[in-house]
Homo-oligomer: A and B are copies of this chain.
Amino acid sequence: MPYQAKVTVMFRKSILDPQGAAVERALKAHSEGIDISSVRVGKVIELMVDGPGPDIVEEKVKVLADRILANPVMEEYTVQVESLS
């Protein structure tokens, strides 16, 4: 059965995110009428997965996220799985 999985990888809150700080400065210079803070930049990996069921797909994608897509020492990740059938 086909699924779409989305893995979002962000630095842990305790880790300084210099790219986010740089983006924040750029955004603040162009944001009239709203106040922007706490900008953080992360990665998103979208993949199509063919597997036997949503629970197994989610479990296996979490293993891949933990081993390959994220560095669990510095980063945290979330996994979303959506059925396409």
Contact = CB atoms under 8 A, between A and B. Distances in A.
Task: Quickly give the copy total for this chain.
Answer: 2
B10 A68 contact: no
The range of chain A's interface size is 35 or more
A45 interface: yes
A42 B40 contact: no
A48 B52 CA distance: 38
Contacts of A46: 10, 38-42
B27 A64 contact: yes
Given A27-B64, A64-B30, A69-B23, A44 B44 contact: yes
Interface of A: 8, 10, 20, 23-24, 26-27, 30-31, 33-52, 56-57, 60-61, 63-64, 67-69
